[in-house]
């Protein structure tokens, strides 16, 4: 059994760890509220804009459509992997990295695949095995629509120039503080509805349907990428808050076990001292 000093040192160390994990939990909880409000307010707009664009694009002739809707033979693929810049958030980053590895080795095993990383953790690991197209870790330093739009504009140029035939986004979608949904979305080319179950409405387009689509496409793609980054940002704080909560609970449980062990060791030491005193007194009286 460890001596009393060793047990006291361990109790003190665990107490310090509890203070850190508890503080990190509260910080993440505060950031989560703001991030959750932002993504909750944005989703209806983003989803409706995407739905409108897909429905409108589906009614255009192929020759009149945007080059961003062009379906071509897939030879070069770009995967956008969105992770976090910091750790201590459970399996948040490892899920993304594992899935990117999986789809590269299976789904795109015969394609030329590059990875665009948003998040330091993903870049650190994926750069060891795959070609990194670019690293956009600094977007989390100032997460605004304008900063993400710059990335989206570059991706649109890359697709139009034929550098990539398909671009997909892999990220954690925020559901609640304890749940993140691994999501794979096609970014380019724009996906058009496969079935025509929508209600046909006779709209009057001004100036023209083609010009409206060309105006909506860049805006929709920028919004889609920004929503994915925002979703991942909220999911990160939810995962970190949950991880720190579990770490605090585990530390509390371990501390209680050590306190019990300490009390038992202390009681045993006191008992031994009393027995030694009694034994010494009896020896003097004999």
- Torsional class of 140: left (φ above 0), alpha (ψ -120 to 50), beta (otherwise): alpha
pLDDT of residue 273: 81
Peptide bond into 209 cis (omega under 30): no
Task: Share the mean pLDDT of the chain.
Answer: 87
Q: Which domains does the chain have, with CATH numbers?
A: 22-192+210-243 (3.40.1380.10)
Instruction: Read off the pTM.
Output: 0.84
Report d(CA 228, CA 83) in Å as an integer: 11
Catalytic positions, written as ranges: 89
pLDDT, position 276: 80
251's CB contacts (< 8 A; 6+ apart) are 14, 17, 18, 21
Per-residue confidence in pLDDT tens, the chain, 286 aa: 458 888 889 999 999 999 999 999 999 999 999 999 999 999 888 888 877 776 676 666 544 557 888 888 999 999 999 999 998 998 999 999 999 999 999 999 999 999 999 999 999 999 999 999 999 999 999 999 999 999 999 999 999 999 999 999 999 999 988 899 999 999 999 876 554 544 455 556 677 667 777 788 899 899 999 999 999 999 999 999 999 999 999 999 999 999 998 888 888 878 888 888 877 777 777 6
> Who's near 191: CB < 8 A, 6+ residues apart?
54
């Amino acid at each position: 059994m460890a001596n009393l000093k060793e047990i006291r040192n361990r109790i003190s160390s665990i107490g310090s760890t509890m203070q850190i994990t508890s503080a990190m939990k509260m910080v993440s909880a505060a950031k989560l509220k703001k991030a959750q409000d932002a993504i909750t307010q944005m989703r209806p707009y983003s989803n409706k804009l995407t739905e409108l664009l897909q429905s409108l694009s589906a009614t255009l002739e192929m020759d009149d459509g945007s080059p961003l809707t062009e379906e071509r033979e897939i030879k070069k693929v770009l995967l956008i992997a969105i992770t976090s810049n910091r750790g201590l958030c459970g399996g948040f980053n490892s899920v993304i990295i594992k899935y990117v590895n999986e789809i590269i080795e299976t789904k795109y095993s015969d394609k030329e695949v590059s990875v665009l990383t948003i998040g330091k953790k993903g870049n650190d690991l994926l750069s060891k095995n795959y070609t990194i197209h670019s690293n956009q870790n600094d977007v989390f330093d100032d997460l605004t629509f304008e900063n993400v739009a710059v990335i989206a504009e570059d991706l649109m140029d890359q697709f139009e120039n034929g550098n990539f035939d398909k671009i997909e986004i892999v990220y954690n979608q925020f559901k609640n503080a304890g749940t993140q949904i691994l999501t794979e979305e096609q970014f380019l080319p724009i996906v058009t509805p496969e079935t025509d179950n929508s209600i046909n409405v006779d709209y009057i387009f001004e100036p023209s349907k083609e010009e409206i689509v060309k105006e909506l496409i860049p805006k929709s793609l920028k919004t889609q990428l920004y929503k994915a980054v925002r979703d991942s940002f909220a999911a990160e704080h939810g995962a970190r808050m949950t991880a720190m909560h579990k770490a605090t609970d585990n530390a509390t449980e371990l501390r209680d076990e050590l306190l019990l062990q300490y009390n038992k060791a202390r009681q045993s030491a006191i008992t031994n001292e009393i027995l030694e005193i009694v034994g010494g007194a009896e020896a003097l009286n004999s």
